[in-house]
Amino acid sequence: MGKQTPGLTRNQIRRSLRELVDPSPTDKEKNEIRKFFNYECAYCGKKIKQNKEGHIDHLVSSALGGVNNIANRVLSCADCNEKQKLDMPWEEFLSQKNLNKDLLQKRKEKISQW
């Protein structure tokens, strides 16, 4: 069973406070993100058919000081978000994903335009 450590409590408080000053995107905003990225993962281009499959990923992860705000969120498939990118800087992650130079440039631009 997980024990509640002071560190855990601190993180929970930090998250709650952050949600007050820096709320996560609303459902409407999340739909705007999905539409902007053409229902494709911003990193690998995988089609995201259902809302459940798509993650609204932090472009700059919270661990690196990224905010919850919609401007810092992109559409991502579960694989990229949960298993591969983690706290890696997004440009570095993208470079690993797309070996084709043109495609890499295209994805970078798309993310930068958001």
| Residue pair 39/47 in contact by the 8 Å Cβ criterion | yes
Part in contact with Zn ion (CB under 5 A); list of ranges 14-22, 40-48, 64-72, 101-109:
40-48
Of these, 44, 60, 67, 104, which contacts Zn ion (CB under 5 A)? Answer: 44
Quote the CA–CA distance of 72 and 92 in Å, as a whole number.
16
41 touches Zn ion (CB under 5 A): yes
Q: Are 80 and 43 in contact (CB under 8 A)?
A: yes
Q: Three-state DSSP class for 64?
A: helix
Asked if 56 interacts with Zn ion (CB under 5 A), we say: no
Number of residues forming the site for Zn ion (CB under 5 A):
6
70 binds Zn ion (CB under 5 A): no
Q: Which is nearer to Zn ion, 46 or 58 (CB)?
A: 46
Q: What is d(CA 89, CA 52) in angstroms, rounded to the nearest whole number?
A: 24
> Quick one: which of 80, 85, 94, 107 contacts Zn ion (CB under 5 A)?
80
DSSP letter, residue 50: S
Closer residue to Zn ion (CB): 44 or 67: 44
Instruction: Assess 48 for contact with Zn ion (CB under 5 A).
Output: no
Which residue of 75, 77, 94, 111 would you call a contact of Zn ion, by CB under 5 A?
77
Helix (H, G, I), strand (E, B) or coil at 17: helix
